[in-house]
Structure 1
Amino acid sequence: MSKEDRMLDGKAAIVTGGGQGIGLAIAEALLEHGAKVMIADVDVDKAAASIESWRANGAPVLATACDVTSERDQEQLVARCLEEFGGVDILVNNAGVTRDRYMTKMTTDDFDLVLDVSLKGAWLGTRAVAGLFREQGSGAVVNVSSLSGKIGNPGQTNYSAAKAGLIGLTKAAAKELGPSGARVNAVQPGLIRTDMTLAMKPEIFASKEAEVPMGRAGTPEEVADAVVFLASPMASYINGAVLEVTGGRGI
């Protein structure tokens, strides 16, 4: 990509849950558009291994350990990005987990864990950058929600609730931070080809894919492109929006 085509030159970004899947694709897309990227993951060894080749080629990317449910870890994450890259301009709240079971068999621990990581983690991350973004009069937060938060999925009352909650968080935070010049938006991926979805039984995956008007599942790179757009100056007047990346599924 030529320098003229890059939209994020000089920006510093944090991506939580960036060691694999959609998070890793987001990190790569941000790098391609000129950003310096701090990947935060609870499995820092896996994250470091994922970016080893990028670093070997001189990419400005680092992996750091972070439990997004920890207020202290979130604050240290922002401090490290400031120390290593001289700023924080973009936060992508991508970290999430699943613990799927029907309600009658789901434990309260599994319900709490999914909400803590996906929803509380995003709230803690947004709070950790809020003061900095207000002070500098700019900044972009992108929350990675899910179509499950819009249409609900059986066996995912915890995940669907967490991802729906992210939409409320996005809109409320957009109203709080908007007056300072910072923006908060969300993407809502649908059926995306990741290790998690490809682990489904083939017939279940095929039935879900048949619900997509475009006739196929999406790729992590297509989600990443939407995140780059929302984080970039091209979305300078977009705040509190939810961008569905679903191929039309769930409309």
Structure 2
Amino acid sequence: MIDLNGRVVLVTGAGGTIGAGIARQFEAAGARVVRHRGREDGDLRTEARRVVDEAAAEHGRLDAVVNNAGVQPVEPLAGMTVEQWQSVVDTNLTGPFAVTQAAVRHLPEGGSITHIASVEGTHPAPGHAHYAASKAALIMHARAAALEYGPRGIRVNAVSPGLISRPGIEEQWPEGVERWRTAAPLGRLGTPEDVGDACVFLASDLARWVTGHDLVVDGGVTARPTW
């Protein structure tokens, strides 16, 4: 088992299904978790410094950050407005950018930042042009940040989940769930805990030489040939 006793971790978007699962797995590993719950704490694009400073002050230190807060609306590209595009980019990309900038002021050598991206960062879906583009950029931001913060001993990575189970998904999208299960070599949807375990690993000393990496957690779907 990974032991993160004494470590303090900030998880943004911890009020959602995936964010709550990430927080639980860090707590199971012994970390103290500061849960940012999204809109109630303001827009991370402008409030990042306050959120990060308060997280560090709460326990007197900050060792890792998971940038999980995000949105996933569905809008056809042909009718998408600039405002709809910008709203997704602000939340999914500019928010993590701002949190990362704020966090490195507190993180020690050996500190870790993990962005929650998506398999749609490399495999877009219809109606998700803004979402897929923001997640692709988030993966590249992790790599760029890994280059610049590596000399300070801070690692930056991404986790790209596939389809993650949530309450009601079987009833809301039965055909999509069935398609995913058929495509996945492991034959199931992911769980929030699957994503959380990947984040715990990347924040731990087991990943001390892993930075600039996109860890895909999708049950093997993206390994399947498309021809």
Please classify the TM superposition score into its range, dividing by the shorter chain length: over 0.9
Give the distance between the partners of 2:106 and 2:54, measured in 1 at CA: 14
1:188 aligns with 2:160: yes
- Note the C-alpha offset of 1:98: 1.6
What is the match of residue 83 of structure 1? 57
1:42 aligns with 2:51: no
What is the match of residue 114 of structure 1? 88
For residues 126-161 of structure 1, the C-alpha deviation after alignment (integer angstroms, 9 at most, x for no partner) is: 01012333xx32310010000011111111000000
Give the distance between the partners of 2:137 and 2:214, measured in 1 at CA: 12
What is the match of residue 180 of structure 2? 208
Give the distance between the partners of 1:177 and 1:196, measured in 2 at CA: 40
Aligned residues: 223
CA contact (8 A) 2:156 2:212 kept: yes
TM-score (norm 2): 0.93
SS in 2 for 1:215: coil
Matches within 5 A, 1:59-208: 65-70=41-46, 73-133=47-107, 136-195=108-167, 197-198=169-170, 200-208=172-180
Give the distance between the partners of 2:77 and 2:2, measured in 1 at CA: 46
Q: Which amino acid aligns with 2:43?
A: D
Give the distance between the partners of 2:63 and 2:50, measured in 1 at CA: 16
For residues 196-249 of structure 1, the C-alpha deviation after alignment (integer angstroms, 9 at most, x for no partner) is: 854642122212322212111111111110110001111011011111100111
TM-score (norm 1): 0.85
CA contact (8 A) 2:177 2:189 kept: no
Comparing 216-225 and 98-107, the one that deviates more? 98-107
Give the distance between the partners of 2:14 and 2:42, measured in 1 at CA: 11
SS in 1 for 2:115: strand
Give the distance between the partners of 1:197 and 1:176, measured in 2 at CA: 39
What is the match of residue 228 of structure 1? 200
Give the distance between the partners of 2:137 and 2:168, measured in 1 at CA: 22
Give the distance between the partners of 2:165 and 2:6, measured in 1 at CA: 31
CA contact (8 A) 1:7 1:233 kept: no
Give the distance between the partners of 1:84 and 1:193, measured in 2 at CA: 32
Give the distance between the partners of 2:150 and 2:87, measured in 1 at CA: 30
Give the distance between the partners of 1:198 and 1:40, measured in 2 at CA: 28
SS in 2 for 1:188: strand
Comparing 6-15 and 227-236, the one that deviates more? 6-15
Query: What is the CA RMSD across the aligned residues, in angstroms?
Result: 1.5
Comparing 10-19 and 34-43, the one that deviates more? 34-43
- Note the C-alpha offset of 1:20: 2.0
Q: In structure 1, list runs of 5 or more residues that go unmatched.
A: 45-64
Asked which structure has the greater RCO (Cα within 8 Å, sep 6+), the reply is 2
CA contact (8 A) 1:137 1:180 kept: yes
Q: Which amino acid aligns with 1:147?
A: V
CA contact (8 A) 1:19 1:43 kept: no
Give the distance between the partners of 2:153 and 2:39, measured in 1 at CA: 34
Q: Which amino acid aligns with 1:31?
A: E
What is the match of residue 8 of structure 2? 12
Give the distance between the partners of 1:238 and 1:127, measured in 2 at CA: 20
CA contact (8 A) 1:229 1:235 kept: yes
Q: In structure 2, list runs of 5 or more residues that go unmatched.
A: none
Give the distance between the partners of 1:109 and 1:198, measured in 2 at CA: 31
Identical positions, percent: 37
What is the match of residue 60 of structure 1? none
Q: Which amino acid aligns with 2:146?
A: A
Give the distance between the partners of 1:175 and 1:148, measured in 2 at CA: 24
